[in-house]
Amino acid sequence: MGTFIFDELTNTPTLLAPHRAKRPDQTQSVNTIASKGQDKAQIDKTQVFLKGNEAHTPPTVYQDADDWNVRVFQNKFPLVDDHEVIVHSPYPDKDMEDFGCEQNSRIIRAYLNRVSYYGSQDKEVLIFNNRGGKAGASITHPHSQIIALKGIPGIMEKEKSAALKYYNSNNRCYWCDEVKEEMADGSRIVYESPHFVLMVPKACRWSYELILVPKEHKPNFGFINEMEIGDFAKILRAALCGYNELFSRPDRNFWIHTSRYEPFHWHMGFLPHIKTLGGLELGAGIWVSDKASPEKAAEELRPVVSKAYDECTN
């Protein structure tokens, strides 16, 4: 397992996981001694996410049907004790933006199943997706991942603490207020659906970063209802299609921040890899958004995301 180590001065967490150097590398992102020298036959053996290759992964912990469309199992090279892989479909070359709402809803239901499962164990979860080598993926078959811990340090812990401080000072939810403020301004809103608001953060860390916030206040992603699942499937796909349209299917990440307790408000973040980190980001922790202002990014994303949302069918 990985081990958390913390900087003594800043308390910044690092997850030390050298065992993951042995995992298969199809994107050339890992680039370890273990992956060098693999011939094509060896690399082909890493296609373990395909239907029919279930015996080559850890046992299934969730699948949507006997003849599965979405499948979940423990990560063979886990970062923490509870670290799972959520395979988006049996197709190695299709991802969420290639599917209609029915398949994406299946993926969302898999997320919800695991959130519920770990919530019953009093654990917090982080759902995340890496697509492409620049985004940290080592396997090309589209998939998401989920880790579960009693508490997740770093950004999530800071968000929870800040949300509680804001609530104690204002008796209101930070994200509810943020959505109201952004809707009133409008310049950074990319799309408003019946249940969600997609926007570029005004203090975006990265050009074209997006945040998706549900209109109805809920701390836990696991609390969404049937109507919201369908809408979430559409707007999630539309956001990814927006990146594809502007940046020719870039490597990208998304993640879901959720908490079991108030006054949190679950939300989702997106980031396209259209630049690399520089010395200021790495040395000072100061993010540089140098490709477009938040307002310009929203302006460019707005029409393509709107079109993709309207085109989404089952």
In the chain, where are the structural domains located?
A: 3-149, 158-311
Amino acid at 188: R
Whole-angstrom distance, CA of residue 277 vs CA of residue 280: 8
Alpha helices in the chain (DSSP H): 40-44, 101-119, 155-170, 174-185, 226-247, 279-284, 294-311
Per-residue pLDDT of the chain in tens (314 residues, 90 and over written 9):
678 777 675 677 777 767 666 666 666 665 544 444 444 444 455 588 999 999 999 999 999 999 999 999 999 999 999 999 999 999 999 999 999 999 999 999 999 999 999 999 999 999 999 999 999 888 999 999 999 999 999 999 999 999 999 999 999 999 999 999 999 999 999 999 999 999 999 999 889 999 999 999 999 999 999 999 999 999 999 999 999 999 999 999 999 999 999 999 999 999 999 988 889 888 988 888 889 999 999 999 999 999 999 998 76
3-state class (DSSP) for residue 173: coil
* 3-149 is classed CATH 3.30.428.10: yes
65-84: b (≥16 Cβ within 10 Å) or e: eeebbbbbbebeebbbebbb
Q: Do 3-149 and 158-311 show the same overall fold?
A: yes
CATH superfamily of 158-311: HIT-like (3.30.428.10)
- Give pTM, 2 decimals: 0.90
Nearest-angstrom CA–CA distance, 83 and 81: 6
